[in-house]
Amino acid sequence: MAKRTAAGIQADIAKGAFRPHTALSNVALAYYQSDANSFAKTVFPICPVTLSSDNYYIFDKEDLLRDNWHRKPAYGKVDPAVLSEHTDTYACVVDQMIMGIDQIRQTDLNRRMGPRTADPKQQRTKTMAGQLNIHQDSMFARKFFRKGVWTQEYTGIDSTTPASGQFIKFSNGNSDPVSFVDDKSTEMEEKTGRKPNRLALGVHVFNALKKHPAILERVKYGGSTANPASVTLNVLQQLFGIDRITVQRSIMNKAELGQEAKMEYIGDPNAFLLAYATDAPAIDEPSAGYIFTWDMLGNGNILPVLSYPGENGTHSEFIEGLMAADMKKTADDLAMFFAEAV
């Protein structure tokens, strides 16, 4: 089957020929949303959109943060406020995964009472949803979690005298991660009016923070001999004053099909991202980044799943999953990227 396009799906919807399997679509969405290791959607919000491509607003912070209220003159009125706005575009591209079920083999397994799944359709649906998280985390790493994306970019060094654009690595015991993140948060807030509320950590950065002497010193009196204090994400959220801290734990086999497996963390384990992201996604709400996701049928399920038989004589059935998304950097000054932090 050919790869689906947004235009093709829209045409099928108009003809009433696009009919996802409701139960399997619900299973896929629930499994996709519940994956605790998924990284992308815990940092930047999913923004459901009714059109596969459209405009979103960009507001000038200079106007938004100006005092536009003035004393009303007697018998008169104030001049209208000037609020500049621009638009950019998103375009959700359809991603697709198809898995097959060999009906003859499935019948044989059922009769033998051999190793099998009770419901192969659900099993393949869950597999596709899990693979979608891998796919999106990989896209997130390329779009947002690397050098060369954000204007405010810093590189860690071992020296305790960093120059402009540098910082002391968190693996260096002479660094002070809490003060450093606090200073950068204040810097962003002063420039944009938005305080960072997301901190996305590579695994090695998180591990370095858990055993950093400056952080252990701050929490050591919170434990006892039997239960010594430990550095958890909740502890770090309190120390850094960040609403949500996530650790990039997604694993991906980066080898090509047929090659020896090459398991690696999807995102850079030595980097971290400090950002502001909204909890109320909308095309006119500021956020460092968005995952625009097309709600194809307008029913809130952004991951429709279809089930259909194979060609005559193949004795097969196919499960197809679809998602149309576009990951966009929507406010460059609402994020800072830090490379080589350990």
User: What is the C-alpha separation between 279 and 211, in angstroms, rounded?
Assistant: 31
pLDDT at 75: 94
Low-confidence ranges of the chain (pLDDT < 70): 1-3, 112-118, 222-229
pLDDT at 114: 60
Fold of 6-66+79-339: phage-related protein like fold (3.90.1690)
3-state secondary structure of 233: helix
| Torsion sign over Cα 151, 157, 160, 163 | negative
**Tell me, what amino acid is at 81?**
A
> Nearest Cα to 92, choosing from 4, 1, 16?
4
Domain assignments of the chain as residue spans, ordered by start: 6-66+79-339
pLDDT at 104: 81
By the 10 Å C-beta count (0-12 exposed, 13-18 middle, 19+ buried), 37 is classed as: middle
pLDDT at 115: 59
